């Protein structure tokens, strides 16, 4: 669904720290820290993962999954306008 490096990159694009992401997602700071420490796909409660993805997307980040259409292969993030 999302990797730790994707989360860090998405936060960087938004210019927010872990504490801000935690607040936007309605999660604890240690939960965000654990998620971002994952070297690969973040494992955790689906509800928590969904909240993080929704918070990042609301900020304008588009998460790109493996094999998804993009100019390059692999995973990444793309900044788009915030959701209306």
Domains of the chain: 4-59 (1.10.260.40)
Series of mean pLDDT values for 10-residue runs along the chain (84 residues):
89 95 97 92 90 93 75 65 69
For 79, the 3-state DSSP assignment is strand
Tell me the DSSP string of 33-71.
HHHHH-SSB--S-HHHHHHHHHHHHHTTEEEE-TT-SSS
Q: What is the biggest distance separating any 2 CA atoms in the chain, rounded to whole angstroms?
A: 35
Q: What is the pLDDT of residue 81?
A: 65
Q: How far apart are CA 52 and CA 40, in angstroms?
A: 16
Q: How far apart are CA 47 and CA 53, in angstroms?
A: 10
Residues in the chain: 84
The model carries a pTM of 0.82
């Amino acid at each position: 669904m999302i990797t730790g490096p994707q989360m860090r990159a998405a936060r960087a694009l938004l210019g927010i720290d872990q504490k801000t992401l935690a607040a936007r997602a309605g999660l604890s700071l240690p939960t965000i820290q654990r998620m971002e420490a994952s070297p690969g796909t973040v494992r955790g409660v689906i509800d928590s993962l969904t909240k993080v993805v929704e918070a990042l997307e609301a900020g304008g980040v588009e998460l790109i999954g493996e094999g998804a259409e993009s100019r390059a292969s692999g995973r990444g993030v793309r900044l788009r306008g915030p959701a209306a």
